[in-house]
Structure 1
Amino acid sequence: MHAFLAGVGRDGRERLAADVLGFSDQELEAVHDYIQWLFALPTRSAAQPHSPVLTPAEIGAIRADPSSVETLRKASERMLRFYRSTRWWLTSHDHNHLRITRILQSLWLLVGPAEARAFYEAVLALHKAAGAPVNARSLHYWTEAAGDAAS
């Protein structure tokens, strides 16, 4: 997992992180197995049970590796561009709401609260500008996922 974020390892479909970061908006929407690689967590994904699960050692290695942290920042920026340029996720229920929760959790864990807070505030601003269409449950999960960063 660390090798993937460092830019030298491949995911389960033989893609480098740079390949995934180069996806079009349509690919980001249609492909459903990359988010668990770009934004890994120490818990198994229900949607992609064969995706990586971070160990404590990997968490420490990723946090300490400037290349991995940079990949996470680029991934965060790419996903924000996706959310800014698309609107279909701005509805009551959408699978992107789960992705946003994962992104927030992963950023908080691997990069830090400030990065999670910036992503949280950007997504919340898009939600508000669209007339607040996202359901309260998803908003609650986002706030929880951002942890101390959202307070």
Structure 2
Amino acid sequence: MPASLAGPLHAYLVEQGADGRGRLATDVLGFSDNQLEEVHDYIQWLFPLQTRSGAQPGAPVLTVAETEAIRVDPRATETLMKATERMLRFYRDTGWWLTGYDHNHLRITRILHSLRLLVGPEAAQSFHKAILAMHDAAGAPVNARSLHYWAEAAGS
């Protein structure tokens, strides 16, 4: 990893490092909808947090220095926005998550937290608004607890 990068997540988000399986961010962004649904170790890299993942405890955790570096690096924030667009397309094109309980509800919470932390509240609120529009159009099938976590994560 080049010295100018603050850590493995920063390197990954600027396409100068790979995840724990050797994949670049662009590789993951090119996943099919089925791959996005079935593979469970990419979301922690695309949307990192400062807390350990319960689902993938071996995934890296953002340090304070890495968080700051990602926030000010336009290459990293561009990757985060491309990842946001890809996940929105995934959620628009699939209905797997539009049910009472689904693992994607946890992913959505992570995405919202990560966007708010690394890109800003506007990005998180925009993603939240889009997710809620899909949810409402499907007849509001998601449980109240998930909806509460999403609102909290988005800062709404």
- TM-score when normalising by structure 2: 0.94
Distance of 2:118 and 2:11 partners within structure 1: 14
Q: Where do residues 86-105 of structure 1 align in structure 2 (5 Å cutoff)?
A: 86-105=94-113
Contiguous gaps of at least 5 residues in structure 1: none
1:19 aligns with 2:22: no
Spell out, residue by residue over 1:59-92, the C-alpha distance to the aligned partner (whole angstroms, 9 max, x if none): 0000010000000000000000000000011000
Q: Secondary structure at the match of 1:90?
A: coil
Q: Corresponding residue for 2:83? A: 75
Stretches of 4+ aligned residues off by more than 6 angstroms: none
Q: Corresponding residue for 1:106? A: 114
Distance of 2:112 and 2:96 partners within structure 1: 20
Aligned-residue RMSD, C-alpha: 0.4
Match of 1:29 among 19, 33, 37: 37
Q: Corresponding residue for 1:143? A: 151
Question: By how many angstroms is 1:20 displaced?
Answer: 0.4
Distance of 1:100 and 1:88 partners within structure 2: 13
Distance of 1:134 and 1:39 partners within structure 2: 22
Identity percentage over the alignment?
A: 72
Question: By how many angstroms is 1:40 displaced?
Answer: 0.3
Distance of 2:100 and 2:73 partners within structure 1: 38
1:116 aligns with 2:124: yes
Q: Secondary structure at the match of 2:112?
A: helix
Q: How many residues align?
A: 148
